[in-house]
Structure 1
Amino acid sequence: MAGLSLALVAGVLAFWLRQDDDAGTPRVLDSPSARQDLAAAALADLQTAVGARDRARLHPDAGELAETAVDNAEKLRVAGFTVRYVDEDAALTATLPDGQWAAAVDTTWRFAGYDPREAHAEVTFVFAREGDHAVLVDVGGGGRRTPLWLATALNVSRTPQALVMAAGDQPVNRFARQARVAVRAVGEVLPPWRQKLVMVVPESDEQLDGVLAADPGEYAEIAAVTTTVDGSLSPSAPVHVFVNPEVFSGLRRNGAQVVTTHELVHVATGAATASNTPLWLLEGFADYVALRDATLPLSVTAGQVLAQVRRDGAPRHLPAGNEFDTHTTHLGASYEAAWLACRLLAQTGSEQDLLRLYDEVSDGAPVGAALQQVYGFGEKELVQRWRRELERLAR
């Protein structure tokens, strides 16, 4: 009986350790815990290599994507990079080719000299088994945000005030020139700001959706968006400008510059986390700074809202939050209306009065009270003056 028991044990061990005819590798490596061990080792190598900005720290067969991430890290001066395996994403794994699996990975990083603190996001990493180690084959998907620098090769431009990264054939030098002009223009209006400009330019709008974990087409009508890297409203989260290349490439030079400067205003004023500021003031102020020195005619800068006024009369209220939704049919007119309200305030008092109003409201003061304190009239009076201005300009 003892010999039979030993034979049974030996048979069980042989079953689990024998070569799998289909995969050609030990069946034990197919278990989730074994995959986690392999992925954790690959992530540890990646963390070390990125931290040292040295490809030689990677496994000799780490794969092209891991090497690309290290190269990008050197160009971008990535610091504070950590990766921790959280769990396998079974639903996403089921859609992948045999031998690959997806996992949620807790990730932190920052761009030294530009981000005041680390970004923190759960990112999807896709691995494949190669013999006794795991290879990183993809980053992104699963409804999680995708750091562009981990997902594809980048061209990078840096100045003391702006970092620009562009994927594929996107013209990084063009964006860098616009960034320099924007920094100068914003500096003429605003006091020195803490957060520097970081522009992220994906290769396509589909890639932008992945970077922001957005629904397909959510930003189809938007040239650029300023938001926290992790999507939170935490004031400590790094804030970057994310460009929609499909829309941006269709803009003329002046239009592209206005967009870049507008977005830098949001960065400089912390607008990505200023949840209490009404959008007409938030967006109108950014456009006021962006258009401050522009010589474009009103037919370009306010053509849509003035056409609405000629057709339907002046709106009875300042544009509200839902009128800035990316899917609204009159998005351009809402931005123009907000800009004209802020321009009117600067003309009624001064540019410094407008800046003071913006600061008061950003710090939590109600709009009506802040208007009364700075201008001596409330929101109702502002709407009346704004409507009269729209009617005058529409004649």
Structure 2
Amino acid sequence: MAGRRRASGTRVVVAVCLLLIGLVGCGGRPATDSARAEVQSLLDRRATAVLDRDETAYLRTGARGWFGNLRAMPLADWSYRLTGLRRTGDIAVADAELRYRVRGYDRAPVRAGRTLRLDLDAGGHWYVQSDKPAKGSAEQLWDQGEVAAVRGQDSLVLGVGQSATQLRSYARLADHAVPAVAQAWGTEWARHVVVLVPGSLSDMAGLLGAPESSYRGIAAVTTGETGAPAGAPADRIILNPDAYGVLGDTGKQVVLTHETTHVATRTHTTAATPLWLSEGYADWIGYLGSGRSPSQAAPELRRAVAEGRVPGSLPLDADFGFAGDATELAQAYEGGWMACRMIADRWGEVRLAEFYRAVGGHERRAGAVEGAMKDVLGTSLEDFTAQWREYLRAQLG
């Protein structure tokens, strides 16, 4: 099923330029140490008010803004670190790194770049006029509206513009996905997920800091730092309400289980892991128990095989690009799934998980798949590819 891809890597806020601006005062006078200290103190009070749900204290620091949108979010930590300050008279622009943690889910803080516009009041005290995503930084869910929260057994679903009934249905799907993934992959991961449901495709793109066109027709993505230690911030599964909402019950479950697999395998998914393996393995777990046959789950590849166009090699990373041909994208996902399915059929499900871990354990891409195939599967890439092509003919012909 085309429509799921991991957004790998961490959205890192590059503060070097901002810091230089704060020091040289480009676009305003250089901020004095006292002004920086005053603004940091202001941000500290603002953060404390957010954590304490103290609207009165919050309003003493500036405009109400999105304060009310956070009521339902279970926050464990919230803090700002001032990285730059530019002042022109009684007006200033502060660049800050926001760090926050969702209680019960984030083992380390999520970091986000913010730009705050400040004014001096009549008493000479700074107050916040606005607090928005920094240029180049993604929006946060509360930037888009009031957040509603539904807790499941193994999930937290946060949404904007969604009914409670809809969010509860997503929590049930997530609660089914978590144990299904744990049974196939193992239990050495957090075994809970955070699902974000924005109000529209445009809002989804805002959460990802990317153009809307990049995710049209994509049901969901998972963000997080691949290869990161277990103590890294929790991944976020972000649903596209337009594409995900039109799927049937089975399709919704497959997608959410696929994305949950990315959460579980994150620490073993590295630069050495090709997309055919990471996406194929996520699809393999996603389709377990769905009752979907290869012909049903891989229609584009089935059509190609029927026409005598059996792929000559395993899908390349470039084949998974969203901007390319939709049919080729579907075939890439289907080809990766069939490769993982073949490993499970011929070598066993345990060996498939071992192979995944072995590939990710290499320091670089070159030789990673070949080495893992030799060590875990006892075969070569050339022989594996030949078996995979024959498997496609047998299963889809």
Matches within 5 A, 1:52-201: 52-59=52-59, 62-71=62-71, 75-87=72-84, 103-125=94-116, 134-137=127-130, 139-140=132-133, 142-149=135-142, 151-169=144-162, 171-195=166-190, 196-201=192-197
Q: 1:130 to 1:256 in 2, by over 3 A?
A: farther
Q: For residue 360 of structure 1, what is the aligned residue in structure 2?
A: 358
Of structures 1 and 2, the one scoring higher in RCO (CA 8 A, sep 6+) is 2
Q: Is the contact made by 2:197 and 2:241 (CA closer than 8 Å) also made in structure 1?
A: yes
For 1:295, what is the secondary structure of its paired residue? coil
Pairwise CA RMSD of aligned residues? 3.0
Q: Give the aligned partner of residue 346 of structure 2.
A: 348
Give, in whole Å, the separation in 2 of the partners of 1:276 and 1:177.
34
Contact map agreement 2:359 2:368 (CA 8 A) in 1: yes
Does the CA-based 8 Å contact 1:103-1:124 persist in structure 2? yes
Q: Any unmatched runs of 5+ in structure 1? A: 1-29, 94-98
Any gaps of 5 or more consecutive residues in structure 2? 1-27
8 Å CA contact 2:284, 2:341 repeated in 1: yes
- What's the CA shift string for 1:230-256, capped at 9, x where partnerless? x78644532221222222112121111
Deviations 1:33-54 (A, max 9, x none): 5997886565333201123233
Query: Which whole-Å deviations, capped at 9, do the CAs of 1:85-134 have from their partners, x for residues lacking one?
Result: 333689xx9xxxxx997643211111121112112232344567777653
* CA spacing shift, 1:273–1:381, aligned 2, 3 Å: closer
In the TM superposition, what is the alpha-carbon distance from 1:272 to its structure 2 partner?
8.7
Number of residue pairs matched? Answer: 354
For residue 278 of structure 1, what is the aligned residue in structure 2? 274
> Over alpha carbons, which structure has the higher Rg?
1
* Aligned counterparts, 1:170-319, within 5 A: 171-195=166-190, 196-228=192-224, 234-235=228-229, 236-238=231-233, 239-270=235-266, 274-319=270-315
CA distance in 1, matches of 2:276, 2:106: 28
Instruction: Quote how far apart the aligned CAs of 1:284 are.
Output: 0.7
User: 1:128 and 1:106, CA in 2 relative to 1: closer, same or farther beyond 3 A?
Assistant: same
- Are residues 37 and 370 of structure 1, via their aligned partners in 2, closer, same or farther at CA, if it must alter by over 3 Å? closer
In the TM superposition, residue 179 of structure 1 has moved relative to its aligned partner by 0.6
**1:43-67 CA-partner distances (Å, limit 9, x unpaired):** 3332011232333431258444342
2:331 to 330, 333, 336: 333
Say whether the 8 Å CA contact 1:78–1:112 is kept in structure 2: yes
Q: Structure 2: how far apart are the matches of 1:273 and 1:377?
A: 22
> Can you list the C-alpha shifts for 1:315-354, whole angstroms capped at 9, x where unaligned?
1110111111121212121111110111011100211111
Counterpart position of 1:47: 47
TM-score normalised by length of structure 1: 0.79
| Identical columns (%) | 28
Question: Higher mean Cα deviation, 34-43 or 105-114?
Answer: 34-43
1:232-286 CA-to-partner distances (Å, cap 9, x unmatched) read 8644532221222222112121111111000101101116952211111111111
Residue 380 of structure 1 corresponds to 382
Distance between the aligned counterparts of 1:32 and 1:130, measured in 2?
Answer: 20
Q: Secondary structure at the match of 2:258?
A: helix
**AA aligned opposite 2:209:** A
What SS class does the counterpart of residue 268 from structure 1 fall into? helix
Give the deviation of 1:294 after TM superposition.
0.8
